[in-house]
Amino acid sequence: MEPASRLDKNHQLSLKELPYIIQWREDRCTRCGRCTAVCPMKSIEATVYTQRVVSSEGASPEPLVTRRLTQVVRQVTEIDRYCIGCGTCSLVCPTDAIFPEYNFQHKLYHYKNRGGIPFMRGGRRNDPSISTLDKLKFTRISMLTDPALDAGRHEFRVRTLLGRNLPAEQLPLKVEGDKLLIRDHTFIPPVREIFPIRIGSMSIGALSPHMWEGLAMGVTYLNEVEGIPVVMCSGEGGMPPSILKSRYIKYFILQIASGYFGWDEIIRALPDMIEDPAAIEIKYGQGAKPGDGGLLQAYKVLGLIAKIRGVPQFVDLASPPTHQTKYSIEEAVAKMIQSMSMAWGFRVPVYPKISGTKTARAVLNNLARNPYAAALCIDGEDGGTGAAYNVSMDKMGHPIASNIRDCYLDLVKQGKQNELPLIAAGGVGKGGNLAANAAALIMLGASAVDIGKYIMQAAAGCFGDEYNRCNVCNLGKCPRGITTQDPKLYRRLDPDKVAERVVEVFKAADVELKKIFAPLGRSTELPIGMSDALGVADKEIADRLQISYVC
């Protein structure tokens, strides 16, 4: 007997299981086919239905039933073609006839493991709740006892230092007459003065050529025209030799990670480099997927990427979770930092990046004793990624606020808070409040912050959100052309427009930071660790972060 399942579709999913349900207006649709053509997941398809039409044309009712074929747009219920809610269909629809609607009752995670392969995606933690950073307020407002400053007219210096600052006791100074002079040519660690918001590590490979080019052009413009020294990290995977050998390399931080992808090209370019990079970041971990190495899925390993990374095309490029050649933190810190420092004649700050973790303080204390460690970058659980298992993104990692606070207070105990800068990353600007989040982290003790997802959203209109919208960066199907190597997709992204937006974003953040610092009365130095300026209407957060409880 034929099984009933084929007849009643009992083993198929219903639309209610899917995270986004397509709302299609038959009356508006002109059947142009743009939506079905553009859908990155092929979640909608053009098909035909038999339609029963009842009509009556005479003077008295004489219902006539006819059946006719009609063209419709139908949502597919196959789990591998589930609607990701990106909304590209509504973007291209000329008559506003279609849009995806979020389904709060969805059961995507129950089913998205076909073939025994867990759900993998890009983006960041699917947690739409208000982040701790967004709960923090600036409550110390200068009123009468000290003058608040005019953010528009007062002169501000919104800069931070990237690199190890020698304690004053160790500076090679001597007094001659009433002047301080440099005593001898003792090693003084390199320190860069930069804007306190950086563009964090996103590789060429993870990003499309147009997106990466747009970011790079924007950063260069900010430095050379606007005088805002924003730096940007390469991510793992190297950079085109033409940029390595250009004067623009000084605006970039080169990242080395556990796969060492791209470093053949970098080492080859070294003798021809005319400027030093801003810094070298050694990636030991990533907030979005702690314990995982980098992953560039085969779909994205096309010609240019393969060439820069020195690998064949169309193979998964998985970096190991750890640096396989390093068996201990001592080796990782002592040898890797020194090797990197040595490659550029100790002229470039070298620092590690780790994922947010309870063990961050142990790493920090090790770095605090290493005179060559230039900083520590901690990437919290809300950091983004191009590809990871959903379980890693949603459930692994440590929030950045308390992690950075603990580390800062540890440095305070040792009197080294100015010596070893902390860089905070992971969820900065998650709710759109870039400057406020950055300022809050700075007052908790960070010297600088990194952004990734924020700049993709603000500069290129990334569709991703914390309701798992889009998030197909891993598949190379990015409908905006941000995280794809498919020319058909990335040609839709205009690098000049991205660059313009990067400039606008940083100029706006600069103004907003001033609007925060001015009422606090701060203008000359970044208020790093000025925790008395912070308040939160949650007693437990206040206690944990050692800031004021306000209500």
Partner 1 sequence: MCRLSAITSGDYISPIENIYALETMKEGHDGSGLGLMLKDMGGPFADFKQYPTLSAICSNNGLQLLNDYMRAQGFVEKFSWEPPIKNVVGVERREHYLAKVYDYPVLYKDKTQREKEDLLLQTRLALRMMGEPDGSLFVFSFYPDVLTLKEVGDPLQLSEFFGIEKSDIQSRIVLAQGRQNTNYAIYLYACHPFFIQGYATMTNGENTAFVPIREFLMGRGNAGYMGYNSDSEVFTHILHYTNRTLGYPLHYYKDIITPMKDAEIGQRSDAAALRLLKKSLRPLCIDGPNCVIGFTPDGSVFMVHDSKKLRPGAVGGKSGKYALMSEVCGVDSAIPHRDKSMDIFPMKYDMVVIAPGAREVKIWNQLHG
Q: How far apart are CA 162 and CA 350, in angstroms?
A: 10
504 binding partner 1? (CB under 8 A): no
Residue 283's DSSP bridge partners are 353
Q: Applying CB under 8 A, which of residues 54, 59, 175, 225 lies at the interface with partner 1?
A: 175
Q: How far apart are CA 124 and CA 129, in angstroms?
A: 13
Site string for partner 1, 137-156 (x = CB under 8 A): -----x--xxx-x-------
Judged by CB under 8 A, the chain residues 93 through 112 that form the site for partner 1 are none
416 binding partner 1? (CB under 8 A): yes
Q: Applying CB under 8 A, which of residues 46, 48, 53, 182 lies at the interface with partner 1?
A: 182
Q: How far is the CB of 550 from partner 1 (least distance, A)?
A: 15
Q: How far is the CB of 182 from partner 1 (least distance, A)?
A: 5
157 binding partner 1? (CB under 8 A): yes
Q: Tokens at residue 348, please?
A: 């470039």
Candidates 47-55, 87-95, 354-362, 412-420: pick the segment binding partner 1 (CB under 8 A).
412-420
CB 467 within 8 A of CB 85: yes
Q: How far is the CB of 144 from partner 1 (least distance, A)?
A: 9
Q: b/e map of 483-501 (b: 16 or more CB within 10 Å)?
A: bbbbeebbebbebeebbbb
Q: How far apart are CA 228 and CA 223, in angstroms?
A: 5
Candidates 195-203, 286-294, 309-317, 526-534: pick the segment binding partner 1 (CB under 8 A).
526-534
Classified as helix, coil or strand, 457 is: helix
Q: Applying CB under 8 A, which of residues 67, 179, 185, 488 lies at the interface with partner 1?
A: 179
Candidates 98-106, 178-186, 336-344, 382-390: pick the segment binding partner 1 (CB under 8 A).
178-186
- What does the DSSP 8-state code read for residue 429? T
Site string for partner 1, 190-229 (x = CB under 8 A): -x-x------------------------------------
CB 173 within 8 A of CB 182: yes
Q: For residues 142 and 338, which CB has a smaller minimum distance to partner 1 in the complex?
A: 142
Q: For residues 191 and 334, which CB has a smaller minimum distance to partner 1 in the complex?
A: 191
Distances (CA, A) of 225 to 186, 213, 220, 222: 35, 17, 8, 6
Other CB atoms within a 10 A radius of the CB of residue 5 amount to 10
* Helices 209-221, 495-520: crossing angle, 10 deg rounding: 50
Q: How far apart are CA 231 and CA 197, in angstroms?
A: 8
Closest to 82 measured CA to CA, from 356, 469, 521 = 469
Q: How far is the CB of 451 from partner 1 (least distance, A)?
A: 23
Q: b/e map of 199-226 (b: 16 or more CB within 10 Å)?
A: bbbbbbbbbbbbbbbbbbbbbbbbbeee
Residue 204's DSSP bridge partners are 207
- What does the DSSP 8-state code read for residue 148? P
Q: Applying CB under 8 A, which of residues 13, 72, 173, 273 lies at the interface with partner 1?
A: 173
Q: For residues 57 and 155, which CB has a smaller minimum distance to partner 1 in the complex?
A: 155
524 binding partner 1? (CB under 8 A): yes
519 binding partner 1? (CB under 8 A): no
Q: Applying CB under 8 A, which of residues 180, 270, 391, 550 lies at the interface with partner 1?
A: 180
Q: How far is the CB of 105 from partner 1 (least distance, A)?
A: 48
Q: For residues 154 and 395, which CB has a smaller minimum distance to partner 1 in the complex?
A: 154
551 binding partner 1? (CB under 8 A): no
Helix boundaries (H) for 12-157: 34-38, 88-92, 108-111, 132-135
Residue 22's DSSP bridge partners are 100
Candidates 50-58, 167-175, 293-301, 374-382: pick the segment binding partner 1 (CB under 8 A).
167-175
543 binding partner 1? (CB under 8 A): no
Q: What values do phi and psi take at 463, rounded to 5?
A: -80, -15
Candidates 6-14, 158-166, 199-207, 489-497: pick the segment binding partner 1 (CB under 8 A).
158-166
CB 475 within 8 A of CB 481: no
Q: Applying CB under 8 A, which of residues 94, 118, 128, 167 lies at the interface with partner 1?
A: 167
Q: How far is the CB of 542 from partner 1 (least distance, A)?
A: 15
Q: b/e map of 273-289 (b: 16 or more CB within 10 Å)?
A: beebbbbbbbbbbbbbb
Q: How far is the CB of 537 from partner 1 (least distance, A)?
A: 20
Candidates 15-23, 232-240, 413-421, 473-481: pick the segment binding partner 1 (CB under 8 A).
413-421
Contacts with partner 1 by CB under 8 A lie at: 142, 145-147, 149, 157, 161, 165-169, 171, 173, 175, 178-182, 188, 191, 193, 412-418, 520-525, 527-532
